[in-house]
Chains A and B, each alone.
Chain A
Amino acid sequence: MQRIVLAGLFGLIFGTGIAISGMINPAKVLNFFDIAGNWDPSLLLVMGSALTVAAIGFRFVLRREQPLLDQQFHLPTKRKLDVPLIGGSAVFGIGWGIAGFCPGGAIPALGLGDVSAWAFVAAMIAGILTARTLRRFAQQRVTQTA
């Protein structure tokens, strides 16, 4: 129960940060990417401050044996660069550049009730489920041929 309530609180902090910073606002995000036009550098400061706080905080947190409410830290184990990472990131970047929403910006934007946020999240979920099906299909073919 404690885990659920605290996760809700941390989500609230995350969403407040997204809303105040401007990451929630596609017009601002797109102007950040538009370096040849009316460039708005605000999001550089958003990324910079988020990174600074996270980097300092993680240094202390990850020094511990385990998190406060779990047996272990759940960190990614992959180290090498691969095609899904870079290809997927490129496709994500194109989608972000078209819509002005990223997942972390769009989920809090749902709360504003604007149709564009709901349209983005619905399409994004369809994309995630499609990709998951594609990968499962590819993995089955690999195991069948092996």
Chain B
Amino acid sequence: MTEFTPIPALIGGSLIGLSAVLLMAFHGRIAGMTGILTGVLPPAAKDWGWRAAFLLGAIVAPILVPILSGYEVPFASPVPVIWVMVGGLLAGIGVFFASGCTSGHGVCGIARLSGRSISATATFMVAAVATVFVIRHVLGGF
């Protein structure tokens, strides 16, 4: 059970959007986690430096948030680790072929009104809702 949290959702979402706008304005790049991450995996892209810096900043952020603001970041994973890894493997294969994920297609792509991104986002959202329905309400799992 998690509560509806409209204020953190709006603040956090706006920051995600702001980051995308800034990365486009300065680097001319899509703030998509799939593309940025793939570029640092060996054989890394020539411009891996800014990618590694972006990833590092993203990893450090949840450590700094409670220290600087006093806001404890809510986190709970109800899924057994073995299933988390199954999900991770599928997600990795999927985002590679789809050339993007929630940040790249769902935020940056739709913001540019890209037909490919709108289709991709609709597909992965429906697939995720269907998967959770099957796991929770058909199989009675986590």
User: Which residues of A does B touch, CB under 8 Å?
Assistant: 3-28, 30-31, 33-38, 40-43, 45-55, 57-58, 61-62, 66-70, 72-76, 78-81, 84-112, 114-117, 119-132, 135
Q: Which residues of B contact A86 (CB under 8 A)?
A: 98, 119-120, 123
Q: How far is the CA of A67 from the CA of B31 in the complex (A)?
A: 14
Cross-chain contact A89 with B11 (CB below 8 angstroms): no
Main SS of the interface on chain B? helix
Per a CB cutoff under 8 Å, which of A36, A91, A120, A121 touches B93? A91
Q: How far is the CA of A21 from the CA of B108 in the complex (A)?
A: 17
Per a CB cutoff under 8 Å, which of B4, B17, B102 touches A103? B102
The answer to whether A95 and B90 touch (CB under 8 A), given A12-B61, A48-B13, is: yes
Contact count A vs B, C-beta below 8 Å: 495
Chain B, residue nearest A93 (CB): B127
- CB-CB contacts of B22-35 with A at 8 A, as 1s and 0s? 11111111110110
12 contacts between A and B (CB under 8 A): A11-B61, A12-B60, A16-B64, A50-B16, A86-B98, A90-B123, A97-B132, A98-B86, A99-B86, A111-B59, A127-B91, A135-B97
- CB-CB contacts of B96-117 with A at 8 A, as 1s and 0s? 1111011101111111101110
User: Which residues of B does A touch, CB under 8 Å?
Assistant: 1-6, 8-31, 33-34, 37-38, 41, 49-51, 53-65, 71, 73-79, 81, 83-99, 101-103, 105-112, 114-116, 119-121, 123-133, 135-137
Q: Which residues of A contact B11 (CB under 8 A)?
A: 17, 20-21
Cross-chain contact A15 with B59 (CB below 8 angstroms): yes
Q: Which residues of B contact A37 (CB under 8 A)?
A: 136-137
Closest 6 CB pairs of A and B: A127-B92, A21-B12, A93-B127, A11-B57, A15-B61, A99-B87
